[in-house]
Amino acid sequence: MALTVYVLHVAAALAVVLATAVLGRLTARLLRQPEVIGEIVVGLLAGPAAIALAGRDWFTLLLPERVLDGLGVIAEAGLVLFLVGLAHSLHHGDNGGRSARRATAWISAGSFVLPLLTGLLLAGWIIARGDPAVRGTAPLPAFCLMLAVAMSITAVPVLARILTDRGMSGTAAGGLALGSAITIDALGWLGLTVALGLGAGDAAGALRAAAALALGAAGALTVRYAMRTRAGRRLPARLPRTAALLLAAVALLVSFGMEHLGMTAVLGAAMVGFAIPRDKPAPWAGAAASVGRAGRALAPAFFVVTGITVLDESLTSVPWPLIVAAVVLGCLGKGVGGYLGARLGGCSSFESRQIGVLMNSRGLTELIVLQAGLSAGLLTEALVLALIVMAVTTTVMTGPLLMLLDRTAAPAPRRVPVPTESGV
């Protein structure tokens, strides 16, 4: 009986979360913003707002810690499924020829290297301040690399949605920005893996991290070779739902197994997603997209749980200069880096400004990276809050800044083939 009540309580909490997400999407639509931005902002603020209005005691009565933990498991499972679809979609395809590839390389370099440097600059400033509530106890190399990666991320799904909503998905600036974001996020996941490994610290932690990575690699290789067998190629065509459920189960098993060994679950999800073959034809592409969409539907739970566990506890303790520094350095790294890379890649001044603005969009992918750093002990809650504000601010800025650029009598945008993106 108690188990039934618990399950019903968690289901009711999830229903409220999904209703909150609908409210966020409607609000974003009214403000001419991508719907995911409304989900993020409303989801993050829903918990702290409810606590402020009802009080902590009433809120705990409505959402006990045990139920919140269950909601957290659902949120993490949603992230795992979402990342499987996202990781599989991170490939370039036809990007318009040699000149476009050259421009993409320059934009990727500018939008990745300069943010890395601004991340290291922010890390140095935090260390110089000497505030343990912000610095934490993570090993110095892991802390610095984690911050550098967090500052360099560009959210591929949010960027793709912005391009679609603004009719830029077929323009040169839009295609180059999306292709560069795909490259940057792939490099970001590699940097995150290294940071998590460095954060293991002592020999026992290093061994556990190695065991977790070995489990992830074994799971990824198993997925790759099983999908390339004759039976593996036929399964998605004959039983598409069974194939999607099987892929989801394997991803959850590998991801939570890695988490049990001390590594973040999202890394396991990314490894499984990257392992799915991209051969032509790609029989598992549909299953990966279905898994990604299922995870995307559960993503609002992640926003709400993050808001309750991070924003409410750290909102009054985070230094405002830290938030300002994170936002300024975030805009400087991605905006200037994207602009300079585009100019060096041969883009016009107007297209380069557009690309600089587009590359500054971080969104959901940034929150996933921050969650990985927080769960691994590399980032403190106060620092995560400052970076969440930076991620939301830079993402919300994207649409208005593009509108402002459009009013500068821009020439008609060039239209070129663009990289494919699954839309998960």
- pLDDT tens for 279-317 read 777 788 899 999 989 998 888 898 888 888 777 655 556
Tell me the torsion sign for CA atoms 174, 179, 182, 183.
negative
Phi and psi dihedrals of 421, rounded to 5?
-150, 130
Position with higher pLDDT, 356 vs 166: 356
Of 279, 295, 296, which is closest to residue 236 (Cα–Cα)?
A: 279
Cβ–Cβ under 8 Å, residues 332 and 117:
no
CA distance 128 to 42: 34
Q: What is the pLDDT of residues 209-266, one digit of tens each?
A: 778 888 888 999 999 999 999 999 999 989 999 999 999 999 999 999 988 887 778 7
**DSSP-assigned letter for residue 413:** P
d(C-alpha 418, C-alpha 409), whole Å = 24
pLDDT value for 97: 60
* Tokens representing residue 230 in the block: 């004759």
Give the pLDDT of residue 203. Answer: 60
What fold characterizes domain 2-406? Na+/H+ antiporter like fold (1.20.1530)
304 within 8 A of 68, measured Cβ to Cβ: no
Residue-level pLDDT at 396: 87
Residue 200: name the closest of 379, 375, 376 by CA: 376
Q: Which residues lie closer than 8 Å to 128 by C-beta, 6 or more apart? A: none
Residue boundaries of the structural domains of the chain = 2-406
pLDDT of residue 172: 84
Are 211 and 261 contacting, i.e. CB atoms less than 8 angstroms apart?
yes
C-alpha–C-alpha distance, residues 162 and 350, integer Å: 18
Nearest to 156 by CA among 175, 174, 178: 178
Q: Which two three-digit tokens encode residue 119?
A: 């991340």
- Taking residues 24-45, what's their average pLDDT? 85
Beta bridge partners of 415: 171
Q: Is the peptide bond before 281 cis (omega within 30 degrees of 0)?
A: yes
Find out whether 333 and 114 touch, Cβ atoms under 8 Å.
yes
- Decide: pTM greater than 0.95: no
Residue 290 one-letter amino acid: S
Using only C-alpha atoms, the chain has a radius of gyration, in whole angstroms, of 21
Give tens-digit pLDDT for 147-189. 999 999 888 777 877 887 777 877 888 888 888 888 888 788 8
User: Is residue 411's pLDDT more than 90?
Assistant: no
Least confident of 11-20, 187-196, 228-237: 187-196
Q: What is the mean pLDDT of residues 45-72?
A: 87
- pLDDT, residue 335, reads 93
Token pair listed for 103: 């421009």
What single-letter DSSP state applies at residue 130?
T
What is the reported pLDDT for 93?
Answer: 46
pLDDT of residue 124 exceeding 80, the answer is yes
Contacts of 163 (CB under 8 A, 6+ apart): 169, 174, 177, 178, 358
CA atoms within 13 A on the CB side of 126: 33
Residue that wins the pLDDT comparison between 418 and 155:
155
Three-class SS of 89-112: HCCCCCCCCHHHHHHHHHHHHHHH
Contact 342, 107 (CB under 8 A): yes
Mean pLDDT computed over 341-358: 93
Query: Quick check: 56 and 34 in contact, CB under 8 A?
Result: no
pLDDT category at 206 given cuts 50, 70, 90 is: low
Check: CB of residue 299 under 8 Å from CB of residue 79.
yes
Are 405 and 353 in contact by the 8 Å Cβ rule? The answer is yes
- State the amino acid at position 239 in one-letter form: L
| Mean pLDDT over each residue of the chain, to the nearest integer | 85
Poorest-confidence range of 41-55, 239-253, 341-355, 380-394? 41-55
